[in-house]
Structure 1
Amino acid sequence: MKLTILGGGGFRVPLVYGALLTDRAEGRVTEVVLHDLDDSRLYAVARVLREQAAVVPDAPRVTATTDLDEALRGADFVFSAIRVGGLEGRANDERVALAEGVLGQETVGAGGIAYGLRTVPVAVDIARRVARLAPDAWVINFTNPAGLVTEAMSRHLGDRVIGICDSPVGLGRRIARVLGADPKEAWIDYVGLNHLGWVRGLRVAGRDELPRLLADADLLGSFEEGKLFGVDWLRSLGAIPNEYLHYYYFNRETVRAYQQVEKTRGAFLADQQARFYEEMKRPDAAALTAWDRTRAEREATYMAENRETAGAGERDADDLSGGYEKVALALMRAIARDERATLILNVRNQGTLSVLDADAVIEVPCLVDANGAHPVAVAPLPDHATGLVCAVKGVEREVLAAAESASRATAVKAFALHPLVDSVNVARKLVEGYTDVHPGLAYLR
């Protein structure tokens, strides 16, 4: 099978290739095509992949190209992992938002809207090209904001585009671990949007073990979300939120912490990865060693401001291993080999959550087979969660409308309606600030 990775010069691509190297079964990926707009980044990542493959017999062949159509032709699977505007764009998203006193995180709040506005037109162009050049391909979307971008692409690809995220997987794994259960044997009742979901139950052998966790303060406070949100708040919710809900539940404290840091997350990653890619220009550099070192630093500092605000301390070693590449491999296997699997994915609603229409992309457990991902029926969310999900989905729809119509007024509306912006005047300043720094938003009129 041929796998095309868009954003193939991205820093996390070796995680995907590393997962492919573990697959020795019939029908596996044998050809990987890396596509990127930046030749030097492609060269750097290809070096890391060569070192990964050196110790693996019959590793998937890797080629690289800057020609998008060439990369897509004949693909069986397409991974979309692009970052429109690069890490400099992410840093600008953070800086402009924080100057107005609101959150600039890349998927949540003002930063997520800005990122979506400049990413959706590019993602739509990719979807149209896939439909024309590789109509039988399955698109697995890694690109953030994942739910929003997946919904934009689904308007052209239908159910052949599926969004993935490692946050629900990691959350379920942590809960199962503290309960002494095997994550592979647990059913995780997780419902919401990407980066906006809640675990409401974890069933092992038909028994819901979440009440036992909520009743035990020591267990509840022993893992990442317990430290991040606090035992009392989790008990009040009666559920375990995705870590990204910290931006909503503790927004003022988080914004204050972000305003006080020497470098925002985007600026930190931009500097860190620039050093890595610069090092890769040296022919004698040990590519895989340099990549491993950089990745370890990246993972250890993930959501550092939130953990500092909550007094959560350092991340546990078990939480530094990523996971989205494993979700992607499991998804490909299930589709390509009809190996049925249950995965938490971003797919079209199709009536799963009655408060949203059929085409709204949600994040829920899905049964996956050769015909794609099928969302599992779930119980309704409580009112507080329903309100937040509907509000954020409404904002996503305004972003899609702004991108389609090139309407600056609709972009202002998207910002103004977000719960973490909540001011029309601030929304106008955000649109002005973002259009000043992002060439990718020049289309807004």
Structure 2
Amino acid sequence: MRLAILGGGGFRVPLVYGALLRDTAKPRVEEVVLYDVSPDRLAAIGHVLAQLAAPYEDAPSVRVTTDLDEALRGADFVFSAIRVGGLAGRTADERVALDLGLLGQETTGPGGLAYGMRTIPVAMRVAERVAALAPRARVINFTNPAGMVTEAMRGVLGDRVVGICDSPIGLIRRAATALGLPADRVSPDYVGLNHLGWLRGLTYQGEDVLPGLLDAPEALRTVEEARLFGAEWVRTLGALPNEYLYYYYFTRESVAAMTGGTRGEQLLTQQDRFYADVAARPGDALAEWRRTRRERDESYMADTREIADAGERDAADLEAGGYEGIALGLMAALARGEPSTMILNVRNGSAVPGLPADAVVEIPCAVSGAGIMPLATRPLPGRFLGLLQQVKAVEQTAIEAALTGSSRLAVEAFALHPLVDSVGVARLLLDGYRARIPSLDAVFT
């Protein structure tokens, strides 16, 4: 099989390739084509992959290209992890909001909307080229904001595009571990949107064991999300929230934690150094990548963990892997007929009562060689459903704004977001983003 990776010069591509190296079942991916707009980044990641592959006799071959059509032609799977505007765009996403006293974050709030609106036109072009050049290929979308981008691409590709995220599986794994249970033997009742969901139940041998975890102080303290939100609040909710809900439940604390510097600014410094170091010493590419990865993982949500007194990230959790395992598992289930239940970003249909049928939601799905089947979820209480309905309406307005180039709809999307407190500020957000990010300005020009 041939896998095309869009955003092939991205820092996390070696994680995907490493998972492919460890996969020995047949059929397997035998060729990887890396596509990126930056030849320098492609060269750096190419060095890392070559050094990863050195101990393996049957490693998938790697080809790099800056031509999108060349990358897509004949692909069986397309993994999309592009970043329109680069990390410089991300720093603007975060900083423009913070300068107005609002949350500045990559996927949540106004920063996520700005990122989505400039990304969607590019994602739609990718979808159109996939339809033309790889008509049987499945697209696995990790491009953020994953739910919004997947929903837009569905307009061209329908069920052939699915979104993935590693946050839900990490939460489920931590909850199962806290209970001393194997993570692959529990059935999660997880429901929401990308970066906005709750683990409401965890079934093991026919019994929901999550209430027992919520009532066990010592076990609960081992779950990072419980430390982040506080045991009292998760017991109040009766659920374990996705870590990104911290930005909704503790908005003021989140803004205060970011005033010293944003995540995007930290990553921009880290990754500029990594790519420069690899260019200077290509023989050390893998060692540099591993060093930078440790630094990156350990600093993930560090500001919010510090202000919430949540402590350091668990070492075992850092080693457990994330979205690369989901991507590989999804490809294996579809191509080899290995049945699996996975949490994916898919069309709602009637799976989540109260949300539009065409909305992309993040829920458990049964995956096999026959395709992907969303599993029905229990009705949500108003305190959860109301937030999902509001954010989904904002996302769908932002998608329409990006597809039509309507600045009026863009202001509407910003103004209706629960983390934006004024229509006037919404107008300032759009003006600020257009001034700082050329790729976003082009959408509305």
Question: Could you say which TM-score interval applies, normalised by the shorter chain?
Answer: over 0.9
1:352 maps to which residue?
351
Residue matched to 2:257: 257
The AA in structure 1 aligned to 2:142 is: F
CA distance in 1, matches of 2:370, 2:48: 34
Aligned position for 1:108: 108
Contact 2:118–2:443 at 8 Å: present in 1 too? no
1:124 deviation in Å? 0.6
Cα drift, residue 284 of structure 1: 5.0
Specify which of 275, 280, 283 is matched with residue 282 of structure 1: 280
SS in 1 for 2:198: strand
> By how many angstroms is 1:256 displaced?
1.2
409 and 212 in structure 1: CA distance in 2 versus 1, 3 angstrom threshold: same
SS at match of 1:373: strand
**What is aligned with 1:373?**
372
Give 2:176's aligned residue.
176
Deviation at 1:101, TM superposition (A): 0.6
Return the alpha-carbon distance in structure 2 between the equivalents of residues 164 and 215 of structure 1.
31
Long gaps (5+) in structure 1: none
CA distance in 2 between partners of 1:283 and 1:238 (Å): 52
Asked if 1:150 corresponds to 2:150, the answer is yes
Q: RMSD over aligned Cα, in angstroms?
A: 0.9
Given residue 352 of structure 2, which amino acid in structure 1 is its aligned partner?
Answer: L
Q: Map 1:299-318 to 2 at 5 A.
A: 299-318=297-316
1:75 and 2:75 equivalent? yes
* 1:97-121 deviation digits (Å, cap 9, x = unpaired): 0000111211000100000010000
State the TM-score, normalizing by the size of structure 2.
Answer: 0.98
* Identity over aligned pairs, percent: 60
Which residue of structure 2 aligns with residue 296 of structure 1? Answer: 294
Once residues 205 and 303 of structure 2 are traced to their aligned partners in structure 1, the CA distance between those partners, rounded to angstroms, is 38
Task: Please state whether the residue corresponding to 2:303 is helix, strand or coil.
Answer: helix
Partner in structure 2 of residue 392 of structure 1: 391
Q: Any idea what SS the aligned residue of 1:202 has?
A: strand
SS at match of 1:26: coil
Conserved 8 A contact 1:279-1:285: no
Contact 2:9 2:45 in 1 (8 A): yes
SS in 1 for 2:280: coil
Question: Does the CA contact (< 8 Å) of 1:187 and 1:202 recur in 2?
Answer: yes
Name the CA distance, whole Å, in 1 between partners of 2:316 and 2:402.
Answer: 39
Extract structure 1 runs of 4+ deviating beyond 3 A: none
**Alignment check: 8 A CA contact 1:176 1:182 kept:** yes
Residue identity matched to 1:292 = R
- SS of the aligned residue for 1:228 comes to helix
State whether structure 2 residue 101 is matched by structure 1 residue 89: no
Q: What corresponds to 2:437 in structure 1?
A: 438
Query: Contact 1:2/1:31 (CA < 8 Å) preserved in 2?
Result: yes
Q: CA deviation at 1:347?
A: 0.4
Could you list the per-position Cα deviations for residues 63-84 of structure 1 after superposition, in whole angstroms to 9, with x for gaps in the alignment?
A: 0000000100000000000000
1:281 maps to a residue whose letter is: A
Residue 176 of structure 2 corresponds to residue 192 of structure 1 = no
TM-superposed CA distance for 1:319, in Å, is 2.0
Q: Could you tell me how far 1:372 is from its partner in structure 2?
A: 2.2
The answer (yes or no) to whether the contact 1:191–1:199 under 8 Å persists in 2 is yes
Q: Is contact 2:44-2:282 (8 Å) kept?
A: no
Counterpart Cα distance in 2 of 1:12 and 1:284: 17
What residue is the counterpart of 1:240 in the other structure? 240
Give CA deviations for 1:210-264 in whole Å, capped at 9, x if unaligned: 01111112211222011100010001000000000000000011101111x1x21
Distance 1:222 1:138 in 2: 37
Q: Is the 8 A contact 2:104 2:262 kept in 1?
A: no
SS in 1 for 2:297: helix
Q: 1:283, 1:271 → 2: CA distance?
A: 18
Q: In the alignment, does 2:191 pair up with 1:161?
A: no
Tell me the residue number matched to 2:422. Answer: 423
Residue number in structure 2 paired with 1:336: 335
Question: In structure 2, how many angstroms separate the alpha carbons of the residues matched to 1:221 and 1:251?
Answer: 22
Q: 1:327 deviation in Å?
A: 0.4
Q: Are the counterparts in 2 of residues 78 and 139 from structure 1 also a CA contact under 8 Å?
A: yes
The letter of the residue matching 2:334 is I
**Distance 1:283-1:215 versus aligned 2 partners, 3 A rule:** closer
Shift of 1:283: 4.3
Match of 2:117 in 1: 117
